[in-house]
Amino acid sequence: MLSIIIPSYKDPLLHKTIDDILLKAEGEIEIVPVLDGYWPKIPIKDDPRIKIVHLGRNRGMRGAINAGVLVSKGEFIMRADEHQMFGQGFDKILTETCEPNWIVTPRRYALDPVKWEIMKDIPPVDFMKLKIQNVSNGVRKFAGVEAPGNDSQPIQETMAMQGSCWFMPRKWWDEVIGELQTEGYGPHYQDSHEMVFKTWKAGGKLMVDKNTWHAHKHRSFPRTHNNGTLENPSNNEACWKYSLEQWEDYYNEILKIWKI
């Protein structure tokens, strides 16, 4: 079984995302929407494949994902954002091709959330490089940057992912990831980079599977959700600094392996 964890905070598109998953999945699944300290105005539909988790207070994205994984039962786990659509049979494709030491992200398209369709004028994203970017005034952070991939390989290794959709065997989460750390990182960001570094150190790989896809709401559309509340604010710069302190030396070693 595949458990699909959806951390959610006040996004009305959550319902469309759940409906899309129910429509596109072809195997045994459970959907675990984690309501991060709120109840939606429109109740989530009653379906035996949906297991709602309500957090009594807002924890932020990292805490919500951890809570969802903790109560889930699947042999495989997947994280999805609350404003996404998916390829038909995505669940079967991912479960049948994933190796024990992989984290996998599907090919990513841009989603028009109004028409609820792929934006065909924007090419899909496959390969991403992991770089250290200068943000401003000496502030730096790890970031995934779109780059040309290898079109001849339907499944290929990649250095980074957006983080909105990933898939892995539960055993890999339990033994390698453990949980998304909130101390130092804070409640929200750099989660995909934390998982990638942990995976590399354990001898695993981050892969992109072009046999299936997800479409994530394009940034040109207005924001319909939030990452947290005033009770649980995010300090971006502190998160970026902590992530660099933990992994920059190892990242420089990884660049030698990738020859970048």
- Parent domain of 158: 2-258
Q: Which long-range contacts (CB under 8 A, 24 or more apart) does 132-139 make?
A: 132/244, 132/248, 132/251, 135/240, 139/237, 139/240, 139/241
Segment (H or E) for 70: helix 61-71
Q: Where residue 13 sits, what CATH number does that domain have?
A: 3.90.550.10
Give pTM, 2 decimals. 0.94
CB neighbour list of residue 184: distance below 8 Å, 6 or more residues apart: 239, 242, 246
In whole angstroms, what is the distance from residue 9 CA to residue 56 CA?
13
Mean pLDDT, 10 residues at a time, the chain of 260 residues: 97 97 98 96 96 95 97 98 97 98 98 96 95 90 90 93 96 98 93 98 97 93 58 73 97 89
What is the reported pLDDT for 93?
98
- Decide the pairing of beta strands 84-86 and 205-217: antiparallel
Number of domains composing the chain: 1
